[in-house]
Amino acid sequence: MILTTKDTIDQTKIFDQVKDDSCGAIVSFIGLVRDHNSKEKVEGIFYEAYDEMVEEILKNIEKEVFNNWNIKKFIAVHRTGYLQVGEISVMVAVSSEHRKEAFEACSYGIENIKKRCPIWKKEKTQFGNDWIEGVKINE
Amino acid sequence: MILTTKDTIDQTKIFDQVKDDSCGAIVSFIGLVRDHNSKEKVEGIFYEAYDEMVEEILKNIEKEVFNNWNIKKFIAVHRTGYLQVGEISVMVAVSSEHRKEAFEACSYGIENIKKRCPIWKKEKTQFGNDWIEGVKINE
Amino acid sequence: MNLSECTTLKIRLFGILREKMESDNLLISIHDTSISLKELRKYLKELYPSLGLNEINFVFAVNKVICNEDMNVKPLDEIAIIPPISGG
Amino acid sequence: MNLSECTTLKIRLFGILREKMESDNLLISIHDTSISLKELRKYLKELYPSLGLNEINFVFAVNKVICNEDMNVKPLDEIAIIPPISGG
């Protein structure tokens, strides 16, 4: 399951969805809005995505993960819109029989979301709103 | 926070405990009772621990993790007693500013729990109850 | 310029670029039925200096795929400028 | 054997060993105030063949730490036999 959403990401619900009786391991990564950046206090972050392209790329990442690792379920969700400190911006959860696969697939998932998904963020601090200088998208 | 417990491990509660406004990343590993082993259907697993020694070792692992990685919180909980298929036997959750540290510390945590904690399991299958052949404990 | 030879490309804008133009899209006219992304890059820099495309390391996505700039785009293609990303 | 020279060691049992002996502990008498783990290993194998210690790759924990078998243990030490583990 992969998607971008404007709704709150409910980690309990995702855990229930990724769970499977045949699996002995679940590894999850949760990205949250931090209360600071390298210089100052952060109040919140606005996330904007090229949704249709993100979903294409998430589909590709999902395929790659199932091709490369023997896992049972893969969930990747990215939120858009304005998020306050402590809210979940992204979650990747993987279930598998054994833990090695789940760790590797989860890590691959989040690394590739970061590198390949057209998503942009604007931080809100007491000094205003700034688009974060990002990195060139990976093909 | 580290402990062994006879109570159900509530992953939502642990997520709330490991969360911190200064953190941008949470990585968690959840171990669950699988419905099968390499040969047959499994109905449940009985976990027995040398609790006092496990807690000593978990304390050491916790110290090592904080010495080696720049993380905010580390939680490791291992359950004992009889668990049915799908129940959580062990959970390791780590929060940190950035994801790399959380992934590495979480993986280190579960690998070392597996290698160093005096815990034993007995599987219940339709053919009876069998202590699982384990590995020599790592000093 | 013979207007009958012009076609219109729609180019999607995101993030800082969308904000600078106060628009989700740029509509630009080209003097042919297609144009290479390389030419489009040059053209956009000339036509919209306020986008600041000289200062950012952007790429083009065509039909949701990052493309080599030798490629030609046509009016029905979904074209987007992808400025440096910062998701996660 | 002079009983006044004997001391008692308590050895904790877990898992398959606890089940085999139907007890959480073994109480064994030694003819001295201490004994090396190496000697204890030999002694236990002779004394309790039903534990099957020849068949498993066990180690000793003394006061919750895995110890080298050159070490001597005394009655107040918390001694445990640690059969192969399978936690997680």
Beta bridge partners of C81: C60
Residue B22 identity (one-letter amino acid) = S
Q: Tell me the per-residue pLDDT of A100-124, one tens digit each, with 9 for 90 and over.
A: 999 999 999 999 999 999 999 999 9
Positions in chain A whose pLDDT score sits under 50? none
User: What does the angle CA B94 – CA B99 – CA B104 come to, to the nearest 5 degrees?
Assistant: 60
Residue C2: band (very low, low, confident or very high) from pLDDT cuts 50, 70, 90: low
Classify residue D71: in a domain, yes or no.
yes
B134 and D CB contact within 8 Å: yes
Statement: residue C5 has pLDDT above 90: no
Q: Tell me the per-residue pLDDT of B73-131, one tens digit each, with 9 for 90 and over.
A: 999 999 999 999 999 999 999 999 999 999 999 999 999 999 999 999 999 999 999 99
CA distance D83 to D67: 14
Q: What confidence score (pLDDT) does residue C32 get?
A: 87
Q: Tell me the per-residue pLDDT of A47-62, one tens digit each, with 9 for 90 and over.
A: 999 999 999 999 999 9
% residues pLDDT > 90 (chain C): 88
Cβ contacts of B52 on chain D, cutoff 8 Å: 64
Number of domains composing chain C: 1
CATH number for the domain that contains residue D50: 3.10.20.30
Helix-, strand-, coil-residue percentages of chain C, each rounded to 5: 25, 30, 40
* Chain-chain contact of B50 with D18 (C-beta, under 8 angstroms): no
Helix (H) or strand (E) holding C29: strand C25-30
% residues pLDDT > 70 (chain B): 100
Read off the pTM.
Answer: 0.95
Q: What confidence score (pLDDT) does residue D1 get?
A: 47
Measure Cα distances from D12 to B52, D27, D44, D55, D82 in Å: 12, 9, 13, 19, 9
Q: What confidence score (pLDDT) does residue A8 get?
A: 98
B127 and D CB contact within 8 Å: no
Classify residue C26: in a domain, yes or no.
yes
- The domain in which residue D37 lies consists of 3-82
Helix/strand number for chain B, H first, E second: 3, 8
Cβ contacts of A89 on chain C, cutoff 8 Å: 88
- Per-residue pLDDT, averaged over C63-71, amounts to 97
* Chain-chain contact of A120 with C83 (C-beta, under 8 angstroms): yes
Q: What confidence score (pLDDT) does residue C4 get?
A: 59
Nearest CA in chain A to B92: A27
Beta bridge partners of D11: D26, D79
Residue C36: band (very low, low, confident or very high) from pLDDT cuts 50, 70, 90: very high
A25 and C CB contact within 8 Å: no
Q: What confidence score (pLDDT) does residue D4 get?
A: 59
CA neighbor of B1 nearest in space, from B97, B118, B70, B95: B95
Measure Cα distances from A57 to A15, A54, C48 in Å: 23, 5, 29
Cβ(B107)–Cβ(B75) under 8 Å?
no
* Chain-chain contact of A23 with B31 (C-beta, under 8 angstroms): no
Classify residue D34: in a domain, yes or no.
yes
Q: Tell me the per-residue pLDDT of D19-28, one tens digit each, with 9 for 90 and over.
A: 999 999 999 9
% residues pLDDT > 70 (chain D): 94
CA distance B76 to B112: 11
Q: What confidence score (pLDDT) does residue B12 get?
A: 97
* Chain-chain contact of B27 with A26 (C-beta, under 8 angstroms): no
* Chain-chain contact of C64 with A114 (C-beta, under 8 angstroms): no
Give B113→chain A minimum CA distance, Å: 13
Q: What's B2-128's CATH class?
A: alpha beta
Residue C1: band (very low, low, confident or very high) from pLDDT cuts 50, 70, 90: very low
Indicate the domain borders of chain B: 2-128
CA distance B26 to A109: 14
Cβ contacts of C53 on chain A, cutoff 8 Å: none
Residue C15: band (very low, low, confident or very high) from pLDDT cuts 50, 70, 90: very high
| Residue D1 or A40, more confident | A40
